[in-house]
Chains A and B, each alone.
Chain A
Amino acid sequence: MDFDRTAEYAQHHGEEEGKKMRKTIWIIFWVLLAVTTVEVSLGLVWKQWGLNWQFVKWTFILLTLVKAYYIVAYYMHLKHEFKNFIYAVALPYIVLVLYLIVMALTEAIYVHGEDMIM
């Protein structure tokens, strides 16, 4: 039996569709560049502007998640896959990493001591 069915799923498109796709690719590039520029500028000026560090920190994390979304959804094409495939990839990751983060946040207070430096 022939198990290599790759050719059936291989994607092809014409010139017309390719033009539209290249446009999307470059739009996403400008989005990523703009977000990175905002991040770097914020990192350079937040002290002079007297901004609250907690606010700056969460802005950085939020912008990072925005970038991650655009890379995974568009460049890695996940947004256009079947829904059940998106769930199969994203859910295990999200659930386990949230669990890890919750553990680190709730348990980190116990190790905050003065006993050891190295």
Chain B
Amino acid sequence: MAGISPSVDKNNLWGGGFSPFNVSYGKIMMWFFLVSDAFTFSALLISYGFMRHRFEELWPVAEEVFTHFPFLHGDHPLLYVALMTFILIMSSVTMVLAVEAGHRMNRNGVILWMALTIVGGLIFVGSQAWEWYHFIHGTEWGALQLADGTIAQWVDGAKNAFTLPNGTTMSGAEAAAMIQSGTEVYGANLTVNEYGVPLFGDFFFFITGFHGTHVFSGVVINFIIFVNVLKGTYEKRGHYEMVEKVGLYWHFVDLVWVFVFTFFYLI
């Protein structure tokens, strides 16, 4: 891509009359917004790591929580979220291809690639909704929340024996008394989490929700720009820089997901 525009005198970059960055005002501001947004996401993920370290023994393993895959039975850890990652990377590729087509003033190219980007974004948002549904809904048996708040997992569907977070299995009369004083919980919300500490659910809803909001608003913004492309606004303007700017935002959303994927699902 074009580096230094030939019209810039390198010795006079800060002399006024030209952007010393050789980048337009709108693009600079988009970058600075993305930096500030990156701070928010970094703070969220770092505080996630902090609390996880605090409750290390009670923290659920994401691999054991998110095991569903549409139309397939049984456990498929990581598979679904890997597919979501693939969809988002794919939509990042179509976005950068739209930007490239814009540089050639190829309107039909921009239309095609932006449409595919929007479709990819919608599939991703839908997948996230599906994942949330399963997390909120929970497992078939649920779990036992003991009187002190600890979550114990049932040994089987008979629900007369359970395993504590430290690995001890309780059964018989002692277990019956603890079951009596505890409550059965299903799924997860902001105060209850059948997989472990409620904080895990809070972070999950907040971080993936915040990211999902970004994806959704990205789809909306992409759609607005897409309509402008269809109307020929940028053809008249002589350049497709708006596509580039929303492209920056869209890649950022993909970038954040790369980190969420690692810190939430892999580690």
Q: Which residues on A are within 8 Å of B, measured CB to CB?
A: 3-15, 18, 21-22, 25-26, 29, 32-33, 36, 39-40, 43-44, 57, 60-61, 63-64, 67-68, 71-72, 74-77, 80-82, 84-85, 88-89, 92-93, 96-97, 100-101, 104, 108, 111-112, 117-118
Contacts of A93 in B (CB 8 A): 35, 38-39
Contacts of B140 in A (CB 8 A): none
Closest 5 CB pairs of A and B: A10-B239, A85-B21, A64-B262, A6-B24, A9-B24
A-facing residues in B1-46 (Cβ within 8 Å): 1-5, 7, 18-28, 31-32, 35, 38-39, 42-43, 46
| Residue B171 lies at the interface, judged by CB distance under 8 Å to chain A | no
Chain A proximity mask over B232-267: 1 for CB below 8 Å, otherwise 0:
000001111100100110011011001101100111
- How many Å lie between the Cα of A91 and that of B55 in the bound state? 33
Contacts of B55 in A (CB 8 A): 117
| Nearest B residue (CB) for A33 | B89
- CB–CB B35/A89 < 8 A: yes
- CB–CB A97/B39 < 8 A: yes
- CB–CB B267/A75 < 8 A: no
- How many Å lie between the Cα of A29 and that of B266 in the bound state? 21
Query: Quick one: which of A44, A71, A92, A101 contacts B78, CB cutoff 8 A?
Result: A44
- CB–CB A68/B259 < 8 A: yes
Query: Quick one: which of A29, A61, A104 contacts B93, CB cutoff 8 A?
Result: A29
Q: Which residues on B are within 8 Å of A, measured CB to CB?
A: 1-5, 7, 18-28, 31-32, 35, 38-39, 42-43, 46-47, 49-50, 53-56, 58, 63, 77-79, 82, 85-86, 89-90, 92-93, 95-97, 100-101, 103-105, 148-150, 197-198, 237-241, 244, 247-248, 251-252, 254-255, 258-259, 261-262, 265-267
Q: How far is the CB of A36 from chain B (nearest CB, A)?
A: 6
By secondary structure, the A interface counts as helix
26 contacts between A and B (CB under 8 A): A5-B24, A10-B241, A11-B239, A13-B104, A18-B103, A32-B89, A36-B82, A36-B85, A39-B261, A39-B266, A57-B267, A60-B267, A75-B96, A76-B252, A81-B21, A81-B22, A82-B20, A82-B22, A82-B23, A84-B20, A84-B21, A89-B35, A100-B43, A112-B56, A117-B197, A118-B149
